[in-house]
Amino acid sequence: MLYKAKEVIIIFGIFMNPEKDIQLSIVVPLYNEEESLPELHDWIVKVMTANNFSYEIIFVNDGSTDNSWSVIEGLKIKDPNVRGIKFQRNYGKSAALHVGFQITKGSVVITMDADLQDSPEEIPELYQMIVEEGYDLVSGWKKKRYDPLSKTIPTKIYNGVNRMMSGIKLHDMNCGLKAYRKEVVKSIEIFGEMHRYIPVISKAAGFTKIGEKVVQHQERKYGKTKFGMNRFVNGFLDMFTITFITRFGKKPMHFFGLMGTLFFIIGFLFAVWLGIDKLFIDTSGRLIAQRPEFFLSLTSMIIGAQLFLAGFIAELIGRNSSIRNQYLIEKEI
């Protein structure tokens, strides 16, 4: 099967027995993790067997340059529950999760990283929170982390700002270990680097019962982290993007029009005050154009008009969008 020709190659494990109900789909995005994959697979299988779960493991190879794909092929030979996806190049974690979500068959979907820092032992409790407690999404919280301060302190700041802006009370928004109802992953679309904000995207799609579970954080056993400090800068920029999209994606005029009107009114009131001051108060004979307030007023009115026009243009673009009337229907009778 081919997704987006010349971009993604799906090699094996796509067609499974449609009569078999699968309880768990475990999606594992990975990049250069050949050493950890056999151990992770055996650990997952051990937990699945102990709890008598029906399952599938979907390894999404995000353009690895090592032997990760050969390892996945070997795992498939000995375990028919393994499915594999191989990207032709590195597209990022969001792309890997999105394609993995598209082919899941389980009633509950688990995501976890391939570096052995997420423990499969947490999966049964996450599954129970979805099935028995009725959560749409449960995010892991690595309360005790084995990371340097250069990573933990920015993470705490990032999560604090995120809680304030999104209204979702999660301590670790970007934890790779999460559980979802199947309907959630089939209803959302993640792109760019928006995997950090899956809870926000899910909430915007109407899946509001979002929970949290304290999970064990393992020290990295093989290799080194794939993330640098730039992810924190990008994370904050993406946070503003996703906040705007979820609130004003289908009504951009509500944002640009409001901001434009405010700027224009402020500039106009400044201009009126300057006129009154020139006619009745300031008798020095100084020209209005010689006063800095005049340029502030003019600039404010110009910015206001531009923002208002930007709102109109955004509405015209949205009017022609293929998803302008795309809504999620939960049930139909």
For the segment 183-209, the average pLDDT, to the nearest whole number, is: 88
pLDDT band at 205 (very low <50, low <70, confident <90, very high): confident
Of the candidates 176, 161, 142, 172, the residue with the CA atom closest to the CA atom of residue 236: 161
In three-state secondary structure terms, 111 is strand
Whole-angstrom distance, CA of residue 123 vs CA of residue 129:
10
pLDDT band at 306 (very low <50, low <70, confident <90, very high): very high
Buried b (16+ CB within 10 A) or exposed e, 101-125: bebbbbbbbbbbbbbbbbbbebbee
Q: List, for residues 277-289, the tens digit of each pLDDT value.
A: 887 777 676 777 7
Q: Is the pLDDT of residue 9 over 70?
A: no
Q: Is the pLDDT of residue 103 over 90?
A: yes
Q: Is the pLDDT of residue 30 over 90?
A: yes
Q: Is the pLDDT of residue 154 over 80?
A: no
| End-to-end Cα distance, the chain | 34
Q: List, for residues 60-94, the tens digit of each pLDDT value.
A: 999 999 999 999 999 999 999 999 999 988 888 99
Whole-angstrom distance, CA of residue 310 vs CA of residue 290:
31
Question: What are 108's strand-pairing partners?
Answer: 24, 181
Please give the DSSP secondary-structure letter assigned to residue 280.
I
What percentage of the chain exceeds 90 in pLDDT?
A: 43
pLDDT band at 159 (very low <50, low <70, confident <90, very high): confident
Whole-angstrom distance, CA of residue 44 vs CA of residue 237:
35
Give me the pLDDT at residue 174, please: 81
Give me the pLDDT at residue 15, please: 42
Whole-angstrom distance, CA of residue 196 vs CA of residue 193:
7
279: Cβ–Cβ under 8 A, 6 or more apart, which residues? none
Give me the pLDDT at residue 16, please: 44
* Average per-residue pLDDT for the chain: 82
- Give the pTM: 0.72
